[in-house]
Amino acid sequence: MLHSQTHLRSRPIQAGYLRAFEAVARHLSFRLASEEMALTQPAVSRQIQALEEEVGTPLFLRHTRAVELTTAGTLLLQAVAQALPRIDAAVHHIRQNAGRQHVSVTTFASFASMWLIPKLEAFQRDHPEIDIRIEASDAALDLDVVDVDVAVRYAPPGRVPPEARRLFGESVTPMASPWLLKSGGPIRAPEDVLRHTLIEASDAYTPHLEWLTWRRWLDSHGLQKRQPRSWLSFNYAYQMTQAALAGQGLVLARPPLVAENLARGDLVEVLPGMALRSPMAYWLLVSPRSAARPEVQAFADWLAAQAVATRSVVGEGDDPDLVNDLD
């Protein structure tokens, strides 16, 4: 007898019952479901009856030669049909990767897309036995709690733990594509940037990102209250860079994130020597639980070596100033 609404059970449903239910619901046949599951038809029938006992209502209408889902059965099938394949895929992934070396990395989206991902091929070529798993998120995860091995953080020196390893600092400087400069004329003085569209982050005028704004740069170079030809704003740094590469305007770029573009000549620093320092820097943190694993050590050392190359491209020395205040 099924339980009344006032006596519904609250314990979790057995997974085996759900697999039997999904098979019967998919085939609308106890016989075909039993053949698929390599069970007897009475065994499948007992599992469905037990599941109906658990949920407290019939899931199937049983006719002489057919089976039909009830409203409750249809609702349960919608959830089960999504959950079981995801569970099976997760288990398959775990089995497939059991025993393989891996390093899980968390960092913010712009750093992942603009700096880390373009370089990963070199690491994978040298270490094909190590799988890299990247979680790009602007939320700072607690390495003492989450299952992550390495984090790259973006923060001022006073807001990272003592064990953080500095990768490189940051400045902001006007950049453009060479062909935009060819078509729009040379830029020799700060006021020349006003002839162009200025590209910046749409959220740059919040207090913790003020140093990334064109307004700060313009004010610092005697152009208070002056306006450019037009403005173009984007959510993410990589979108801003793409717009600049496409010749849509000047971007106030962060050299470490566009070091590859600078090295290739895709972007040009239009007013060398007029960059503004940022109080932020990029930091490498390794989870204490993971630090002793050779694959994590290898990846952390590789990141540090890549940072040395970036510092060389952007002209930052091996022992750069740690800047705590805005210029």
What pLDDT sits at residue 204?
A: 67
CATH of residue 112's domain is 3.40.190.290
In angstroms, the CA 111 to CA 92 distance is: 31
Query: Same domain for 105 and 227?
Result: yes
In angstroms, the CA 157 to CA 68 distance is: 65
Phi, psi of 116 (to 5 degrees): -75, -55
Residues spanned by the domain of 240: 100-320
pLDDT in tens, 209-262: 788 899 999 999 999 989 999 999 998 888 999 999 999 999 999 999 998 899
- The domain boundary, picked from 97, 115, 148, lies at 97
Query: Same domain for 52 and 112?
Result: no
Query: Same domain for 307 and 214?
Result: yes
163 occurs within a structural domain: yes
Query: Same domain for 109 and 92?
Result: no
Query: Same domain for 202 and 243?
Result: yes
152 occurs within a structural domain: yes
Name, in order, each residue with C-beta under 8 angstroms of 57's C-beta and a sequence gap of 6 or more. Answer: 2, 70, 72
Query: Same domain for 86 and 110?
Result: no
327 occurs within a structural domain: no
Rg (C-alpha) for the chain, rounded Å, is 29
Query: Same domain for 32 and 142?
Result: no
User: What percent of the chain is predicted at pLDDT more than 70?
Assistant: 87
119 occurs within a structural domain: yes
Query: Same domain for 30 and 166?
Result: no
| Structural tokens at position 92 | 């398959």
When divided into structural domains, the chain yields a total of 2
Residue 7's Cβ-side half-sphere holds a number of Cα atoms within 13 Å equal to 5
Task: Write the single-letter amino acid at 5.
Answer: Q
| One-letter-per-residue 3-state SS of 10-38 | CCCCCHHHHHHHHHHHHHCCHHHHHHHHC
Q: Is the separation of the CB atoms in 156 and 274 below 8 Å?
A: no
pLDDT in tens, 311-325: 988 888 654 444 333
Query: Same domain for 161 and 247?
Result: yes
CATH of residue 51's domain is 1.10.10.10
- The domain boundary, picked from 80, 97, 114, lies at 97
Name, in order, each residue with C-beta under 8 angstroms of 292's C-beta and a sequence gap of 6 or more. Answer: none
| One-letter-per-residue 3-state SS of 206-259 | CHHHHHHCHHHHHHHCCCCCCCCCEEEEECCHHHHHHHHHCCCCEEEECHHHHH
326 occurs within a structural domain: no
Going by pLDDT thresholds of 50, 70 and 90, the confidence category of residue 136 is confident
44 occurs within a structural domain: yes
Q: Is 326 a residue whose pLDDT tops 50?
A: no
Going by pLDDT thresholds of 50, 70 and 90, the confidence category of residue 186 is confident
More reliable by pLDDT, 90 or 35? 35
Eight-state DSSP code of residue 148? -
- The domain boundary, picked from 62, 97, 132, lies at 97
| Structural tokens at position 88 | 């099976």
In angstroms, the CA 150 to CA 138 distance is: 15
Name, in order, each residue with C-beta under 8 angstroms of 302's C-beta and a sequence gap of 6 or more. Answer: 123, 126
Lowest mean pLDDT among 31-35, 137-141, 250-254, 264-268: 137-141
Query: Same domain for 188 and 285?
Result: yes
Query: Same domain for 208 and 314?
Result: yes
Q: Is the separation of the CB atoms in 45 and 33 below 8 Å?
A: no
Query: Same domain for 81 and 165?
Result: no
Eight-state DSSP code of residue 115? I
